Every structure is written in C-alpha cells, then in structure tokens.
Structure 1
Amino acid sequence: MNRLPVLVSPYGPYAALALHVHDLTIRGHHADTLVAADEAEAITLALGDHRTHRVSRLGRMYALRSLGRLDEALQIAEDLIEDQTRLGGPKATDAKIMADAAEVLINLGRIDDGLHYVARAMAVLDVAPRKGLRYFSAMASLAQAARCADLFELADDAMRRCIESFENPDDLYRSAAELTHIELWLEWALRLDQVGRTDEAANLVDKCVRVLENLNAQGIDSPLGTAVLAVCYAKSGRTAEAFDLVKDLLPKMRAADQSHETRLLHLANGVALRSTGEWVAARREFRAALQLSVLRSQKLLFQYELATTAVGEFPGEATQAVLEALGGHVEALWQLRMDRRTMLRQAYRRVELEAARLSADLAAASDALTGLGNRRMFDRRINTVMPGGSLLLIDVDHFKDINDRYSHGVGDRVLGEIAAVLRSHCRHDEVAIRFGGDEFAVFLSTGEDEAREVAERIRRVILARDWNTIVPGLTVTLSMGLADCLAGEPGRDLFDRADANLYSAKRSGRNQLAAAA
C-alpha cells in the first residue's frame, strides 16, 4: 500500500496531532485539550502510530491533572509507564513519565509511592544524555514533582539542569524554563513567608524581581512573567507597580481563560490591596484566586492569605485563633519536608541497590564474548515461552573450519558480528542467547509465520555481509531450526522440536531454515 510522505519525528510520524493537544493544555484550555486528545488518539490508533498516540495520552494526562481529575490522570500515567517498559524508548523519556506519575501520586497524597517514582526518575537521569529536548522535558517534570512534595531544593537543582541542557540562551524552551524556575522561587518564598522565615523569603522575592526585570529589559515578555512580577512587587511593598501590572493584564487573562496567570494576578492584587487597608477588596481577590485553585497546596495558600486578611480587618481572639490554627497546620506541613527528604534518600538508595542487583544478575546471565544472554538466561526463559511465541536455534555452518583456517580471533569476530545482527532483530521483549561455541538461540514473541520471516531476514543478512572485510576469502552461513510454542507445551519439548528442525536444516545442506512441525 502506498503511504503519504511524513516528516520524521522522535514523537511519531503524525506528531502534529499530539503537539496540538500539548499546545492547548500549555495555554490552559484543558477542556479543549480533552476533545483534541479524543480525536488525536482515535486517528493515531487507526494509523498505527503508537508513538504519537502515547504523546497525545501524555497531553491528556496533563489536562486531567490541571482539572483536578487526579485519579484519571494517574491511570494514564501508569499505563504510559507500562507501555514504556514493554515497548522501550530513550532513558530520558522513561524518567519523564515516572516524574509525571510521581507528581500525580504526590498530589493524591500517596507520598511514599510518589517519592519512589521521583527516586527512579533521578537514577535514570543520572545516566541519561544531558543535552536535548528529551532531557530538558524530563528534568522539568522532575522539578515539578519535587515542587509538589515541597522539596524546593531538589526542584531548584532540577530546573537549573533543565536550563543548562540548552546551550543557546535564545532558545524558546530555555526561556520558558527560566520563567518556570522564577515561579518556583516565588512559590518557595511564599511558603517560607508563611512559616516565619521572612528574610529568606524576601531574598528570593528580590531575586525574582532582578531576573524578571532583566528579562524585560532584553525584550522577553510573557503573561506568566508579568503575573509573577506583579506578586513580587506586591510582596516587596511596590504596590503602585503591582497595581499597574494587574490593571493591564488581569482582564486579558480572564478573557483568555488563563486560570494560572489569573490566579497569580488575583494574589498580587489582594496583597497590594491589603497593604493599603482595603480589606474587603483584598478578600474578594483572594476568594477569586481560591476559586481558581485546584490542588490542595494552592487552596491552602489562599486560605492562609484570607485568614491573615481577616485578622487585619477584624482584630480579635476569634480571627487570631483561626490564623494560629491554620499557621500550625502550615508549619506541620513544612516540617514534613524533612521527613520527605529522608524518605527520598532512602528510596533513591533502594533504587541504587535494585539497579546493582539487576546489573549483577545481568552480568551473571550474559555471555562475555558477545554480550548476549548465556545458558543460564536460556534456562530461565525456556519455561516462560507462551503460545504465540517461538524459539529459533542457530548454528554457524562449518565454524570449526573457520577457526582452523583463519584463527580463533577471526572466529570470535564472526561470533560478535552474528550477535550484533541477532540483537538488532530482537524487539523489546525478545532475547538472543549464545550457548557457547557457535550455537545461538533467539526467543521470539511471534507465531511461526512471522518468526519465519525474522529468521530468513537474519539468514540473508549474514549471507550478504561482506566477510572479506574481516579476512579475504571468508564466508559465513547459518543453519536454523524454528518451533512455535504449543498450548501447554513444556519448555524442554519446545527445545527438542526446534533442535530437531535445526539438524534437519544441516542434513539438507545447511544455509537454510527448517520449521517442520
């Protein structure tokens, strides 16, 4: 069938569909995002574009998370993790999906599970390439997960690495990350202010102002940056400047349904109004911001501002008691940060130990010459083959003659080349094995017809390779025996059938595949 030419993309051949989904949720149009995701996922599934389908699902998850539909968002996150494990992909993509899942779990109150995913994402990113869009995106997700857990130091470091992953200071992604980083500093400052660490909070607010004013001087302007700057002006007593920014931007953000920027602008206006003694107007602004809040951490911030305003407007024991009770709750949550930092260190250590154990197991089950699995791995896998899977056994034809004529060094190079071909023909859930000598096995996750095609491709690749580049006059061919797993068949019987087919191929002249029942 003829296909339309499509630009190659790491996100799938029909990436524009998924990118539209992401663009909508970035702009805050979350209801529209869900409609676009329905269309994109239906089309990409019909076209068999699983990569773009996953990217669209990720955009759906972000929209659901922003709408507070966390249980639905978590289900998608867990599905994406399962897909990534099954289908494989870049390490940074693994880390991003785990960090996104961590954020949802933390917002659901499942802190242990969330921090475990944070630790796994950190471990993966420690060994991932540190440049490019995938690393940038994964680090941004890690920072957001850490931020939700009040692990501001980790979030700050992740955002710094995120920004450093782009060398070009004019890159749009980098500029967006810088604004997100500044917003993180503001949130950190607001939390510090609530627990009485006013000097640290003021230093962070001043830092935000310096950086934002510098960006404005460079001509870099954005609604988010302006909203954050308005809050910083209000918090630092520059009320006239805060009012000017709010007056100009707030109506536009309301009209555009930009709830995130609108919430920040209501906060700025409320703080500025309160500082001038306009208690009723300030309460109105904080309540408007509270109505736009989805997450518990957001709601708590504005509840605290409302309680503070009430004490100023109606001083007395009752309002003071409410503020003190709320302040005690805020302080207790802040102290939980220390527990979470300890929990994260423990989770990261468990991830390290698990990785070391898996590495040791892999080394024990790997062939030293080729890097394929060894007989130990074969023995593990042979009894796990299910109906719909197949076993392919391979011998190198006249391999003893190759060693005798050209040397064992040449023989080793031949085995290495064959191993590379077998590895390249294995999908994520398939395994290639070297028994020893010139004997190989491949566990395929397909039935006999497709397995025959895979085996024939391998045989033809080996036959067509120019072996003269290793040594003049060298030729290499393979004999193969294939058997597909029958329902209820023991592994030993499957091996015996594949082995009988292998010897049939040898008796029939070699350089061929036999797959008789």
Structure 2
Amino acid sequence: MNRLPVPVSPYGPFAGLALHVHDLTIRGHHAETLLAADEAEAVTQLLGDRRTYRVSRLGRMYALSSLGRLDEALAIAEELVSDPAELSGPRATDAKIMADTAEVLIHLGRIDDGLHYVARAMAVLDVVPRKGLRYFSAMSSLGEAARGAELFELADHAMRLCVESFDSPDDLYRSAAELTHAETWLEWALRLEQVGRTEEAAALVDKSGAVLQYWVDHGIDAPVGAALLAVCHAKSGRIAEAFALVDVLLLEMREAGQQHEARLLHLAHGLALRATGQWRAARREFRAALELSVLRSQRLLFQYELAITAVQEFPGDATQAALESLRSHVEALWQLRLDRRTMLRQAYRRVELEAARTTADLAATSDALTGLGNRRMFDRRIDTVADGGSLLLIDVDRFKDINDRFSHGVGDRVLGEIAAVLRSHCRHDEVAIRFGGDEFAMFLTTGEDEARQIAERIRRVILARDWSTIAPGLTVTLSMGLAAWRRGERGRDLYDRADAHLYVAKRAGRNQLAAA
C-alpha cells in the first residue's frame, strides 16, 4: 500500500497538530487550546500517531491547569506517568511530563509528591542538550512547577536557561519564555512585598516591566503579556498607562473566558484605583479578582490587597489588627517556602542515589560488548515469562569461522550490529540478552504467531545487510528457536523447548527459524 509522504519529526509524523495546541497555550488562549486538542487527539488516535497524541495531551493538561481545572489536569498527568511506555521517549520530553505532573500536584497541595517529580525532572535536564524545542518546553515546565511551589530562585534559573535555549530574538517560543520569566519576576515581587522586602520587589517589577514592554511594543499576540504589563504599570506608579490597558482588554478577556488574564487585569485596575483614592472601586476589583482565583496563593494575594485597602480607607485599630494577622500568616507561608527548598534538595539527593543504584544494577546485568542484558538478567527474567509471552533463542551461524577468517575485531562488530537489530525490535517490557559468545535470547510479550513474525523480520534484516562494508566477503545468518509459554510451565522448561527448536533449525541447514 502506498503511504503519504510525511515529514519526519521527533514529535510524531503529524506534529503540526500538537504544536498548534502548544502555540495556543503559550499565547494564553486556553479555551481555544482545548478545542484544538480535541481535534489533534481525535486525528492522531485515528492515525495511530502516539507521539503526537502525547504532545497534544500535554498541551491540554497545561491549559486545564491554567483554567483551574486541576482534577482534570491531574487525570492526564497520572495517565502519562503511570504508563512506563509514556516515559520512554526523548529524555527532555520525559522531563517535561514529570515537571508538568509536579506542577499539578503542587497546586493540589500534594507538595511532597510534586517536589519528587521536580527533582526527577531536574536530574534529567542536567544531562540533556541545552538547545532546541524539547529542552525549551521541558525547562519551561520545570520553571512553572517551581513557581507553583514558590521556589522562585529555581524558577528564575529555569526560565533563564529556557530563554537561552533559542538564539533568535524574534522566535515565538523565545518570546513566550521571556513573558513567562517576566511573570515569574512579578509574582516573586508581589510575594516579597508582602514580607516587607519592598526594594527587592520594586527592582523585580522594573525588570519585568521592561521585558513585557518590549514584547508588547513588538506586537506579540499574548494577552497575558499586556495584562502583566498593566500590573507592572500600576505597581510602578504609571497609573494612566495601567488604566489604558485595562480599558482595552478587561471586558474582552472576561467575555473570552480568559480567567488568568482577567484576574491580572482586575488586580491592575484595583491597584490603579487605590492609587487615586478610589477605595470602594478598588475593593470591587480585588473581589472580582478573588472570585476568579483558583489557587491558594492567588487568593492570598487579593486578600492581602483588600486588607491594605481597608487600612487606607478606614484607618484604625480594627483594620490594622486584621492586616497584621494576615501578615503573620503570610510570613508563616514564606517560612514554609524556605522549608520547601530544603525538601527539594533532599528529594534531589534521593533521585541521585536511586540513579546510582540503577546504574550499578544495570552494569551488573549488562553485557559489556553489546549493551544488551547478560546471563544474570536472563536468569532474573526466565521465571517471569507470563501468559502470552515467548522466548526466542538465537545463534550466529558459524561464528567461529567468522572470527578465524576475519579476526575477532570483525566478530565483535558483527555481534554489535546484531545487538542493535535485536534492540530495535524490542517493545516496552521486552528484553534482548547476550549469553556470551554468539548466543542471544529475546523475551517477547507476544504469542507464538506474532513472535514468529518478529523473528523472521530479524532474520531477514540480518540476511539482507551488506556485511561487506565491515569486511569484504563477510556474510552473516542466524538460526533461531522459538517457544511460547504454556500455562503452568516453569522457566527452565520453556528454555529447554526453545533450545531444542534452535538445534532443529541448525540441523535443518541454519539460517532459519524453528518453532512448535
């Protein structure tokens, strides 16, 4: 059957569908994101494009989280991280899944679980290339997760690396990263202001405003950027400019269901109104923002602004006492933020120790020449073959002759090439083993009929390979014995049946598969 020519992409053959979903999320068009995700997921499921489907699901999760639909976002996160096959793609994409999951867990108050995923994502991103869209996307998600936990120092570092991952200053993704970085600075400033560190807060507001003004002036299509700029204007005393942005955008964002942008615009409007002595109107705006809040940190921000407004409008012991009580609560939460930094360091150390143990275990169960599993791994797996699984044993035909005629170096290259072919035919939870010498095994999760097809594909690939590129006159063939597991059968009995079939293939002339 003829196939349509499809551009190759690390995100799947129909990546444009999912990238459109992500373009909408980074611009803040979250309601439109969900519609685009519906289309992308329906098409990619129909076409069997699992990679693009996964990328679209991530975009949907981000939009749901931004809209405050955290339970729905968590359901997608758990779907992605609970299936080990989902965490078997490019490592930066795996890190993004973990960071996005961390953000949702943190917003739901599951801080320990969230910080564990943050630490896992950090460990992966420490060792991947620091350029390109995958790294950008993963590091952006790490920054969002860190910001959700109020780990602003980590969020700042993550977003700086995110910005640096793109060279072009006009790139859509670079602009999105800078807007998110600016939002991180502004949120950090608001929290610093609450704990009395006003000079640091003002400096961050100025940095944020400069970046936001640059991109708004360059016409970037991101309503969240303009909303954030309105807050910066209100905080830095540029009241007329804050009012102008609010007048243009607030009603539009409310009608479009853009709650995040509307919440920021209500904040900017309230700050500007309070600066001009319009206390009642300012309280109305802060309450409107409070109604749109979905996270505890957001609600606390507007409760604090309401308390400040009350003190200014109705000076006295009662309002001052209410403000002081709220400040005590804010300072206690700030201390918890500092405790989270310690918790994250501990989680990261645990991840490092787990990785070290995994590396040691992998070294103990890996064949040094080919990187496949070794006899120790075979012994671990042989008694775990379950219903529907099969064992395939493989010998290289006349391998001793290859070593004698062409050298042991050529023989080692042959083994490495065969190992690569076996590895490429392993699906999730399937393992290829090298016993030693020229003997290999594969634990397949399929029944006999499909296992036969896999074995024949491997045999034909080896037969068709141009081995003369390694040594002129070299040819390589394989003999194979296959046995499908029978209910109640012991692992050793399964091995004996596959081994008997292997010798049938050899006696019948080699370069063939024998099975029951």
- TM-score normalised by length of structure 1: 0.94
Secondary structure of residue in 1 paired with 2:480:
strand
Residues 268/167 of structure 1: CA separation in 2 closer, same or farther (3 Å cut): same
Does the Cα contact within 8 Å between 1:84 and 1:94 map onto a contact in 2? no
Output the amino acid matched with 1:478.
Answer: L
How far did 1:50 drift? 2.0
CA distance in 2, matches of 1:215, 1:289: 25
How far did 1:297 drift? 1.0
What's 1:177 paired with? Answer: 177
Output the amino acid matched with 2:290.
Answer: L
What's 1:410 paired with? Answer: 410
Output the amino acid matched with 2:460.
Answer: R
CA distance in 2, matches of 1:3, 1:477: 31
Superimposed CA distance per residue, residues 304-349 of structure 1 (whole angstroms, 9 cap, x where no aligned partner) = 1111111111222222222111111111111112110001001001
What's 1:143 paired with? Answer: 143
CA distance in 2, matches of 1:273, 1:409: 80
Secondary structure of residue in 2 paired with 1:443:
strand
CA distance in 2, matches of 1:100, 1:423: 30
CA distance in 1, matches of 2:406, 2:240: 87
Secondary structure of residue in 2 paired with 1:479:
strand
How far did 1:454 drift? 1.3
How far did 1:16 drift? 4.6
What's 1:394 paired with? Answer: 394
Does the Cα contact within 8 Å between 1:231 and 1:268 map onto a contact in 2? yes
Does the Cα contact within 8 Å between 2:34 and 2:63 map onto a contact in 1? yes
Does the Cα contact within 8 Å between 1:70 and 1:108 map onto a contact in 2? yes
How far did 1:44 drift? 3.1
Show the 5 A alignment for 1:94-493. 94-216=94-216, 222-493=222-493
CA distance in 1, matches of 2:38, 2:184: 32
CA distance in 1, matches of 2:318, 2:452: 80
CA distance in 1, matches of 2:357, 2:88: 21
Output the amino acid matched with 1:92.
Answer: A
CA distance in 1, matches of 2:132, 2:465: 35
Residues 396/222 of structure 1: CA separation in 2 closer, same or farther (3 Å cut): closer
Quick check: 73-82 or 149-158, which moved more?
Answer: 73-82
Secondary structure of residue in 1 paired with 2:192:
helix
**RMSD across aligned positions (CA):** 2.1
Does the Cα contact within 8 Å between 1:28 and 1:257 map onto a contact in 2? no
Quick check: 65-74 or 187-196, which moved more?
Answer: 65-74
CA distance in 2, matches of 1:352, 1:142: 18
Does the Cα contact within 8 Å between 2:483 and 2:494 map onto a contact in 1? yes
CA distance in 1, matches of 2:308, 2:452: 74
How far did 1:40 drift? 4.2
How far did 1:84 drift? 5.1
CA distance in 1, matches of 2:222, 2:53: 30
Secondary structure of residue in 2 paired with 1:392:
strand
Q: List alignment gaps of at least 5 residues for structure 1.
A: none
Output the amino acid matched with 2:134.
Answer: R
What's 1:57 paired with? Answer: 57
Does the Cα contact within 8 Å between 1:28 and 1:259 map onto a contact in 2? no
Does the Cα contact within 8 Å between 1:29 and 1:257 map onto a contact in 2? no
CA distance in 2, matches of 1:141, 1:190: 21
CA distance in 2, matches of 1:37, 1:180: 22
Secondary structure of residue in 1 paired with 2:370:
coil
What's 1:47 paired with? Answer: 47
Does the Cα contact within 8 Å between 1:86 and 1:429 map onto a contact in 2? no
Q: List alignment gaps of at least 5 residues for structure 2.
A: none
